[in-house]
Structure 1
Amino acid sequence: MEDTNSLSLEELVVDYSQEVEIDQISEIQYRDQDLSMPKNIEVQNEKNVVDVLESKLLVGTIMNDIEDDYLLYCQYAHAKGFSVRKGDQRCFSHTNELQSKEFNCSCEGSKDEKSSSKKIPVYQKLVTRTKCKAKLKITRERGGEWRVSRFFTEHNHEMFAPDQTYLLRSARNISYAKKSTLEAMVNAGISVSNAVSFMENEACGSENLGFIRKDAYDHMSRLKKHTKVENGDATGLVQYFINKANKENYFYWNVQLDDDDRVMNFFFRDYRCAVDYEYFGDVLSIDTTYRTNKYNLICAPFVGLNHHMQNVLFVLAFMSDETESSFEWLFRTFLDSMNGKQPETIFSDQCQAMMNAINTVFPHSHHRLCQWHINQNAPSHFGSLNGDSAFKKLWHKCMTYCESKDEFETT
C-alpha cells in the first residue's frame, strides 16, 4: 500500500476500498517499547542492577539488533541515573545499510553559543550539555553481526537519584494501551489532568506510570491537529462519492458536518459489502486503532469473518474524533445502510464513548471486548506479576486455549 501521507482524501478512499488489511478478530501482535527495568534480572540494590547490565554491554559483546541495543542501554542508563540520546550513525559506502550507531548520554556535546548569541533570552535556560563522553557504540561488518565497539561509562556530571529517574526523557514512553486509555477517558469528557491522576492511582504512583503530565498533554494536542477536512479536499471527496453512486446503484455513502459545515466524519460501502453483511453479519468487529492521512483521521473499518475464516469488510469510515455523538452517528448510519439489521455480537476495544453508543444504537447485540485489546491493557493491572514467567504462561493459556467460561474459571 502507498504512503498515505501523500494521498488526497479521494485517493485515500479508493486505496482503502481496494485493499484493507485488518486482522482484529484473529490474534494480532503489537510491540510496545518497554523502557522499564528488565524483569528477568534478580537484584538486591541499584548497584547490582548496574553491574549486571554493564556486563551485557562490554566491548565485543554480540548484540541482536539496533532497537534491542537501544532499549538495553536505556535500561542501564535509567538504573544508573542518566538519560539517553540517539547519536551519530554511519552507513556502508554507496548504500543505505547501517554500519555503526551511537547512543550517547543526553549531556553529550555543548551549547551552540554562535546561534544562541543572536537571540534575546526571555529567561535563563538551564544548561544541560556538559561535554559528557559516556556512550555506547555498536558496529558490524557488511552482512555480519552487531557488536559493541565502544562503551564509555564515566560521566562528568551528577546522576539522578533512583526516585527521580522516571522523569528522564528516555525513560518516558506512552504505550499503545495507555494511549488508548487516555484518549478514551478524554473523549468521554474527563479532563487530561484527571485522566492522568486516575492512571497514576491505577499504577500505584506517578513513578510507575511511564510518562508525565506534559507527555499526556502533548499527545492529546497532536491528536487535535489537522482533524478537519479542508474545503477543497472535502469537495473532491463528495464528488467522488456522487460519481461512484451514479455508476453503482447500491453504493451507499454519508458524511457528517460540524457547526461550521466542515466535514468531520464520512462513511461508505459498496454492494459487495452489503451482500457479505447479509450472509456473515452475525459477528462484527469495530477497530479504531489506526490513524492515517495528513488530517490524522481515524480509520474505522467494520470487519467480519466469512465461511473460509477470512476477513470481510462490511463498511469503512473515517472519523475526526472518538466522541459518543460521532459513534452514534456512525452506528445509525451503518444500520441505515444495512436495512436495520443488527449484529448478534460486536467486538471492540474498551473505549467508553464507543461502548455507550453501542448500548444506545445496538440494544439487542452482545458487546464483547477484543482479545487483543485485553492483552494490551492487562499488563497495567498485573503489577509485580509482570515479571512472573509462570503467571504469564498461565495467562496465555487462559486467554488462548480455554473455549468456555467454566474451563476458563477452572484453569
Structure 2
Amino acid sequence: MEETSLCTEVSTDTQSCQTLREIDDEKTALEDQNGIHDGNKHEGRREFVAPAIGMEFESYDDAYNYYNCYAREVGFSVRVKNSWFKRNSREKYGAVLCCSSQGFKRVKDVNHLRKETRTGCPAMIRMRLLDSKRWRMLEVTLEHNHLLGSKGFKSSKMMAARTKRKIQTNSESDMQPVRLYRALVIDAGGYETSNLVQTKVRTSCDRPDHLNLRKGDTQAIYNYFCRMQLTNPNFFYLMDLNDEGCLRNVFWMDARSRATSSYFSDVLFLDNTCLSNKYEIPLVSFVGINHHGQSVLLGCGMLAGETMDSYNWLFKAWLTCTSGQSPQTIITDTCKVLKSVVADVFPKSHHRFSLSHIMRKVPEKLGGLRNYDAIRKALLKGVYETLKPCDFDAAWGFMIQHFGVGDNEWLRSLYEDRAMWAPVCVKDTVFLGMATARPGETLNAFFDKYVHKQTPLKEFLDKYELALQKKHKEEATADSNSRSSSPELKTRCAFELQVSKVYTPEIFKKFQFEVEEMYSCFSTTQIHIDGPVMIFLVKERVLSEGNRREVRDYEVLYNRVAAEVCCICSCFNFYGYLCRHALSVLNFNGIEEIPSKYILSRWKKDYKRLFIPNHGLSTTDAGERVQRFNQLYRSALQVVQEGVISLDHYKVALRAFEESLDRVHDVGGKHK
C-alpha cells in the first residue's frame, strides 16, 4: 500500500461544538436579562476529557470535532498536519492533527512583513482507521511550548461555518438528534472486544447527556484512572463522551475486582442508590458475595442519568470487562428502565427486584395511609410467611379489600411485578445469600459509611481506596482463619461434621444453625409416593408474634434414586445450603452424608484454588492473550494473598516467584 501525504483537509459537515456553545451563551445572556442565572449551569458542559491513547471514534469527523472542541477549551488552534489515503479507494486511513503553532515556516515562505507565529509546539494527536472502521488515537502529546489563549480560532470557525444556521434553526426545539462516539481505553493485553456500538439518542432537559460534576472532577477521574493503570496494568476503565466531548458515563473495575468477578459473579446486585437518590456522585456499583458471605465489589460506574442508553452502555461495559460472562441472577431496584435493559443485555440471566429495597420503601409509600401499622403487618405476613403462590394471592387480596387500598398505585405495581420479587414466586432462582427472603435481611451497599449525599467526587476517590483496602483485609483475615481454625461442633449430627471440613467458618455457622434447628422439626411423615419420588410433610414449631410457638407444615420432595431433595421453603436456592426440613427428611431415610450436589464449591475454603473458568479461550490472538493474562493474574494474586500472612510465608512466596520467572525465561530462550 502506497502512502500519500496530504495537508490540511478539514471537514465542515460535523456538528460544531463552537456553534453549540454560542447558542448556550446567547441563552445564558437572555436568562441573565430576565434575572435567571445559575453560575454552575454550564460548568459541567465546558469540562473536557483530555485526549488519550486508546480513545476511539466512529468517524474521522468525530475525532476532528472532539480534538477541535478540546483545543478551544484549552486555548489553541488546530490544523491537519498530515493525512494518509489508500491508493485505490482514496479512503482516508491515517491523520495527524497538531497545534497551529507546530513547526516553523520554511525560509522561502516567510513573509518579512509579518512576524513568525509558530513556535515548534509539540502538541499533537496521531490516529488511524481500524479494521472495525473506527478511528483510534495511537499517539498523544498534550504539552505546549507557548502561552494558551481563549480567543476564537480559525479551525473552530471553519468547522462551524456550514452548521451554524442548521443548529440555530433547531435550537428552539426541546429535542435534537445527537451522534455518540465512545472513548475506549485499552487495558493490558490489548483487549478490544468492546460491543459498545454506535447508537442514536435524543437529548432533552429530562434526559441529561453529561455528568453533572464539579469543576476539575472530570480531569480528576481521568488522572486517577491513568495513575491506577500505571501502577496496575490490569485496571480497566471505559469513558463515554457526548457529542461535545463532555464526559457522559464512566465505568471502571480494579484488578482485584476483575479477578474476583471470575469467581463470584454468578449472582450480581446492581446498587444504584446514589444515582436514584440524586447523590452528588451518581455512583452505580456491581456487588457480589464471596465464599465467606462478604460483599465484594465487581465494578463501578457513574451515569449521566437513569436512562435506557446509560444503563445499556454500563452493562455492555461490564460485559466487555468480564469477557462476556453473564451472571446467573442479577438483582436491581424496582425500575421499569432497568427491567427493559437487563432483558436486552442479559437475556439468559434471571432478573429479580431487591426485596429489601422494596421493604425499605414501605414507610415512604404507605406511611400516610390510615391504619398504616395494620397494613404493614398484613403486608409482611403475606410476603414472608406464605409458602405457595395461591396463599400469597389470598393474603394480598385480603389486605387490599380489608383496608381499602386497591387504588394505591405502588401496591398495584408491586403485585403486577410479583414474579420479580415475591419469595413464593422466585423459588427457582439462585440467589446464594442475596435473596433477603427473611424478615430483617438487607442488601447493604458496598460503600455504606463511605458515601453520603453530599460526598464530593475527589473525596470519594480517596474513600474508594480505603473501602477496598478494608474489604480486602477482611477477606484475607477470613481466608487465614479458614485455614488455621477448626469450627466447634454443637451436635452429633453427621451432616454437621461433613460440612465443617469443607465450608468456610461463616457459611458453616449458617448451616450449623439449620442443623441445630432440626430439633424443632418434631414430625416427619411420608404422605405420597410416585415411583422413586416421595413427598414428606415436616412439622416445625416456629416462634411467631408475641413469642408464641405455632406449628407450620413444610412439604419436602425426596428422590432416593437421583439423590435429590427439595423443600418448599427453597432455602437451598435462596442461601446455597440445605434447610432443616430437607435435612430432617435425609435423616429420616437413613442418609448420613449430604449428596455432593448440595455441597456448593463456591462456599469451600479452597474454592479460589480449585476454580476453573467456565469460559473458553477466545479464537483471536488478542483474546487468548487477555485470557492468559487474567488467569495468570488470578493465580499470582492468590500467592500474594498467602504470602503476606507472615514473614515465612513472604519468603516462600518470593522464592517461588523468582524460580517461576527463571523457568519462564528458560522457555523463552528455547523458542529463540
Pairwise TM-score range, normalised by the shorter structure = 0.3 to 0.5
Question: RCO greater where, 1 or 2, for CA within 8 Å and sep 6 or more?
Answer: 1
The normalised TM-score by structure 1 is 0.41
Structure with greater Cα Rg = 2
